[in-house]
Amino acid sequence: MSDFGRVLTAMVTPFNSRLEVDYGQAKKLARYLADNGSDGIVVSGTTGETSTLTNEEKIKLYETVVDEVGSTTKVIAGTGNNDTADSVYVTKEAEKVGVHGVMAVVPYYNKPPQEGIYNHFKMIAGATSLPLIMYNIPGRTSVNMLPDTIARLAQIDNITALKEAAGSLDQAAEIRRKTPADFIIYSGDDSLTLPLLSVGCHGVISVVSHVVGREMQEMIRAYLSGDVAGAARMHLDLFPIFKGLFITTNPIPVKAAMNMMGIEVGGLRPPMLPANDAESAAIRKLLEDYKKIH
C-alpha cells in the first residue's frame, strides 16, 4: 500500500502580477501547508489551475515543491489531462524530478467510454514506477468512471489509490466493496470526508486544508480513534467553511482566502477571474469566524 497520509492538499498555483507562475511563493506555500496539517501536497491539480499551465511550468512546479518539502512531505504531481500521450509524457518527467506519486484525472471533454478510460490509466501506469492516484470528478470531466472500471484498474500493481469526487456515498461504498482492502480511496469533496470515512475511505485530497488543515487532521483522527460523536461535532463546526470556500468555482474562493490570510498567491489565469466584492466579503467573514484573520 502506498499511503500518502490522511490529509493531502490540492495546492493552488501562485502567480505574480503578470500571471506568471511565482515559484518563490510556491515554495513558501508548500512549506506553510507542510507545517499546517498536510501529509501530502498535490501539485498542478484542478485547484492548481492545471488546465492553464504549460508542461514546462508543471514540471518546474513539481521540482520546486519537491526541493522545498519533499524530504518530509509527500509530493504528488498532477500529470493527467485529456490527452493520454501527453499525460504519459508529463508523468515520466515528474518521475525524473523525484515526486513520490502522480495523480491523473479521468479525461475531460473527450467523453471516452469506460474502456477508453481503462486504457488511459493503464497506459499512464505502465509508463512509470510511481504509485498512481486516479481522479474521478464527473462534474468537471462530464464522464463518470464507474466502480467496475475502477475495480479493474485497481488490479494494476501501481494504481494504488482513487480520489473520488462524484459526490455519491453509494458509489464510494460500491467502489470500496469491489476493490482490494489495500486500495486507498480519498474523498475529493471536503464536506464528504467524514461520511466517506464511514464506508472505508482513507482520508481526503482537500481544498479547505489550505485554511483548516490541522482541523481536518483532528477530525479524521477523532473518527479513527473511535470518537465518532466528536468527529461529527468537528464536521458540523467545519461545515460552513466546507461550503463557503466553494461559493463560486474552485479555486477562486481559496485563492481569495489565502491572499486575505497574508499568504500571497496572486490572481487567476483566464478564463477564471478573481472573487467579486460580494464573494470576497463572504470569504472574509468566514475567515474572521474561524479566527484565521482579525
Question: Is-catalytic flag, 163?
Answer: yes
pLDDT at 294: 82
CA–CA gap between residue 66 and residue 77 (Å, rounded): 10
Residue with cell 492538499: 9
Residue 236 · residue 191 · CB < 8 Å: no
Residue 218, pLDDT > 90, answer: yes
Q: What would the pLDDT profile of 76-127 be if each residue is shown by its tens digit?
A: 999 999 999 999 999 999 999 999 999 999 999 999 999 999 999 999 999 9
pLDDT at 125: 98
Please tell me which residue in 108, 118, 135, 223 is annotated as part of the active site.
Answer: 135
Q: Report the percent of the chain where pLDDT is more than 70.
A: 99
The CATH fold of domain 7-227: TIM Barrel (3.20.20)
Residue 215, pLDDT > 80, answer: yes
pLDDT at 3: 87
Residue 56, pLDDT > 80, answer: yes
215, three cell numbers: 482541523
* CA-angle at 178, arms to 145 and 92, nearest 5°: 50
Question: Is-catalytic flag, 74?
Answer: no
Specify the 3-state DSSP secondary structure of 77. Answer: strand
Average pLDDT in the 139-157 region?
97
Residue 1, pLDDT > 60, answer: no
Residue 286, pLDDT > 80, answer: yes
* Residue-by-residue DSSP string for the chain: -----SEEEEPPPPB-TTS-B-HHHHHHHHHHHHHTT-SEEEESSTTTTGGGS-HHHHHHHHHHHHHHHTTTSEEEEE---S-HHHHHHHHHHHHHTT-SEEEEEPPPSS---HHHHHHHHHHHHHT-SS-EEEEE-HHHHS-PPPHHHHHHHTTSTTEEEEEE-S--HHHHHHHHHHS-TT-EEEESSGGGHHHHHTTT--EEEESTHHHHHHHHHHHHHHHHTT-HHHHHHHHHHHHHHHHHTTSSSTTHHHHHHHHHTT-------TT-----HHHHHHHHHHHHHTTS--
Q: What would the pLDDT profile of 117-141 be if each residue is shown by its tens digit?
A: 999 999 999 999 999 999 999 999 9
Q: What would the pLDDT profile of 25-43 be if each residue is shown by its tens digit?
A: 999 999 999 999 999 999 9
Q: How many CA atoms lie within 13 A of 21 on its CB side?
A: 23
Strand partners, 14: none
62, three cell numbers: 513539481
Specify the 3-state DSSP secondary structure of 40. Answer: strand
Please tell me which residue in 58, 62, 74, 163 is annotated as part of the active site.
Answer: 163
pLDDT at 150: 98
Instruction: State which H helix or E strand residue 18 sits in.
Output: none
CA–CA gap between residue 229 and residue 265 (Å, rounded): 36
- pTM for this predicted structure: 0.97
pLDDT at 263: 97
Parse the chain into domains and list their residue ranges: 7-227
Q: Report the percent of the chain where pLDDT is more than 90.
A: 99
Average pLDDT in the 179-200 region?
98
Average pLDDT in the 6-17 region?
98
